[in-house]
Chains A and B, each alone.
Chain A
């Protein structure tokens, strides 16, 4: 394996004293799509939130271990820098309701007070929306509120918003769990396309989705890393009995 973009070393996390992640060590290969699977409550979401330090929004959260982005420990950086390098898309589409589609896409710049010229803004908006396969649908209503879009379109808008800062890693936390089934395929095609330029980590409790889109797969169970392998291997010849049981639908 070539040098991994992101390495997690001995990561443990707890909320209000209860241990959610237990000593996870894992490396994510560059420009690949890694799926994190596991039953509800296994710590999938916590794991990705520790990667961009979003867990720090909960005051009772504590973390030990390290997360290295290109060899640099993100816990030694400013969380604001970390979040610009590691973008995130959430379970429920959450465009800013007070902003237009256009402003939503460049929200990262607007919120953090980075000034851009009109041409730069136009270029970034178009580029990000094209990457998110949304440009053709919204190019004529860029200055309307994003909340009028369908759920799937809103989620692609959120992907565009996460891409606009050119992150190195994109975290997707069950991005299709609140989306109309017909819109899911479009988002899956989109993320497969995106991994050419950005490393993607997707949390999913949909086994079929993990099989369809991912190159590597992680199985978490009760806060422990049970198995990590190429998706094909993990799905066909799982090494751990628990992985096999999970994949065959015995629990979860």
Chain B
């Protein structure tokens, strides 16, 4: 019983962290129709920055700094690597995204020397707590609530502010929005800013409970978060969040199965199996809208 609770708790927590990354994917895809392969690596870079900053600066300064610099990184990537390709075929932009991902990973290898880096203890988040007889870190408990608060704030932003309205318009129809005088570039930048900020927060939560960061540590959570976004229906924020929780929980359950079954190697593969099943049977995802092509 205690074991079940601890697996579920960490599942929900991992799911929440995926959710924060998945929102970045779903927002960007909704507007640019681009799988931002570099998003997972932005997340990894945020983790590394967390390590380097907390080593020299107090937590109260370094964590906000991590978020600000991650936002700046996301913004810069969009301006430098995606904006010049606005008129290019979709494949080119995706290749550019893969290139950025490659660059971030290689830079991280260079800076860290390829060594796994341990994430610092963050007061309170890293301290343990006893829930229903199982010991766990505070971060596990806090994550789902924090995610819900952030998602609520984000939906408010999207539904009740001017920039949110613009974002919705652009994701519905790129060309028309442009004709209606919406400043596309600003909206896209706003999307990357929000996505990166959430990824930075996600990285703090994720890596606090994770043994070490390597330069490729972002790739897998990134892909899983993308799968979550597809699962929930790409472009839909609640969809991405639900998908992320589901994937996080399933993954920890698979990892928690008896070791004699030896199925833990499939914890990543499971996510992709789920992706293929959803793409084949319900390509628009759980909450997505079906799109039709005009001939």
Q: Is the pairing of A and B real?
A: no
By a beta-carbon cutoff of 8 Å, the part of chain A in contact with chain B is: none
By a beta-carbon cutoff of 8 Å, the part of chain B in contact with chain A is: none
